[in-house]
Amino acid sequence: MSLARICAAVSLSLLAAWPAQAQDRRVPTATSELKLSYAPVVQRATPAVVNVYAAKVIQNRNPLLDDPIFRRFFGVPGQQPEQMQRSLGSGVMVDPAGLVVTNNHVIEGADQVKVSLSDKREFEAEIVLKDSRTDLAVLRLKDVSEKFPTLDFANSDDLLVGDVVMAIGNPFGVGQTVTHGIVSALARTQVGITDYQFFIQTDAAINPGNSGGALVDLTGKLVGINTAIFSRSGGSQGIGFAIPANMVRVVVASAKSGGKAVRRPWLGARLQAVTPEIAETLGLKLPSGALVSSVTEGSPAARAGLKLSDLIVAIDGFTIDDPNAFDYRFATRPLGGNAQIDVQRSGRLVKLAVPLEVAPDTGRDEITVRARSPFQGARVANISPAVADELRIDPGMEGVVVIDIADGAPAAGVGFQKGDIILAVNNRKIARTSDLERAASEQPRLWRIIVVRGGQQINVTLGG
C-alpha cells in the first residue's frame, strides 16, 4: 500500500475515533478566518447581562452596650450609628418579564437590590428565590411592563474542553466587560464553593464583580453563570469557575413556578467517595463511582431497591466518577418519572429505576429563637427528610437543627453553626422547636447543651 493511502487510512481511523460532538469543531485553516470577529455574538448577548447592586444596613455594635451598668456609668447611648454595606455583581436576564438570575452571595442579606441594564437604566428588584446550595438567586424587576432581552439556555452537557466561550459581567465596577477564552475543564468537583460541585472551568478572565454574570458560547447561548475564581492576587489568573446552565435552569424553573425554594429530586441515600483502598477491596481497576453508605427507609432509593454497599456507576447514561457527579446529575433530572441508575453489586451490573420526587417537608415548624439565651438569633427547624437533604445531615437523627444564624447574633458569638443538631439543653431532650423555644426562655445560671456537628457529639457548658 502506498504511503499516501496509509496516511489516508490512519486519518480516517482517527476521525472515526473522535467523539461525534468533536467532529463539527475545527481550527482555522486560512488567514481570513483569523480575522473573524466575536462582535455579532457580543451584540446579541450583552443586552441581557445586567449589573446587580445590593445594599444592607449594618450596625457597629459593641457588646459592652448590652450591659445597662456600663451604659449608665459611661453615658454611652444604647443605639449605635448605622452603616450601609454595599456589594456589586452581575446578573443575566432569563425571562422577558424581568426575571434575573445571579449568585446568591451577591445579594445575601441585602435590604435593597438594584439592577442596572446595559443601556444604563436602573430598576429596583425583589428577591424571588435564594438557593445557597447552588449559590444562585433569582430576582424580579419591580414595576415594569416592557419586555426585556434575554439569553437562552444552552445544554451545558454539550460543552467540550477547548470550546471557545465568553464571560460577560462588570468586573471591579468598571462597567460591562467581555472577555474570552476556552473551556479549560469540565465537572470540577474539588472547588468547595457550593453543595453541588460540578463546575465549568474557563480561562476567560473573571474578576470580582463578574459573579452572577454570563458565560456564553459562540451561538450567544448561556452555558453557565460565572461564580468564582482561584487567585492568589484577588484578580484573574486564568482559573475561573461557572455553574453549568443545566443547574441554573432548574433554579429558574422553580422561581417561575412561584416556589420559594428549589424543587429537586430526593434520593434518600448517603454516598461516599471510592478511595484507592476501597477500590482494591472491591476489586475495581480505578477508584471511581459513588458508594452507598446508608439508605433511608421509605425513600425513593429504598423503594427502587438500592442497597448498602452498592456502587453507583451511571445515571441515565452518564458515567458517575464520584458522589459530587451523582449529586449534580440527579439534581438536574426533571421531577416526575424515574431515573435509571446503574450499580455494581457483588460483581454484577444491576439497573434500578429511582422515582424522581421531592423530599417530604412536613412538620418543619421553623422558628427564630428570640429569648435572651445562647440560641438567640438562630433559626431552627425540626429534622424532616427535606431539611436533612438540604443540610446534608442524617435524616435518621432526632432533634432540632440550626438552619441559619443572623449576623452578629448571640448564637453566632457562642459558636453555633448552620447544620448543628441540638439534642438536649440542661438535661432536657430537645425533640421539637417548641422544646428549644421553651428551654431558651428560662434563665438558668448554667447552660448545658448537647450538640451534634458533623456526626460528632459535643457537650457545651456556658455561663448564664
Binding-site residue numbers for substrate are: 105, 135, 209-211
State yes or no: is 211 an active-site residue. yes
Q: And the C-alpha cell for 145?
A: 411592563
Q: Residues 6 or more apart from 218 whose CB is under 8 A from it?
A: 38, 41, 164, 165, 166
Catalytic residue among 87, 90, 105, 236: 105
Q: Which three cell numbers stand for residue 428?
A: 432536657
Can 105 be counted among the known catalytic residues? yes
Exposed, middle or buried, 19 (CB in 10 Å: 0-12/13-18/19+)? Answer: exposed
Catalytic residue, from 87, 90, 131, 135: name it.
135
Task: Report the half-sphere exposure of 318 (CA within 13 A, side-chain side).
Answer: 20
| CA pseudo-torsion sign 108, 114, 115, 118 | negative
* Neighbour-count burial of 191, counting CB atoms closer than 10 A to its CB (0-12 exposed, 13-18 middle, 19+ buried): middle
Residue 95 is a catalytic residue: no
CA distance 369 to 405: 10
Binding-site entries: 105, 135, 209-211
Helices (H), 273-423: 276-282, 300-304, 323-331, 385-391, 410-414
Q: How many residues does the chain have?
A: 464
Residue of 184, 211, 236, 384 marked active site: 211
Query: Which residues belong to the active site?
Result: 105, 135, 211
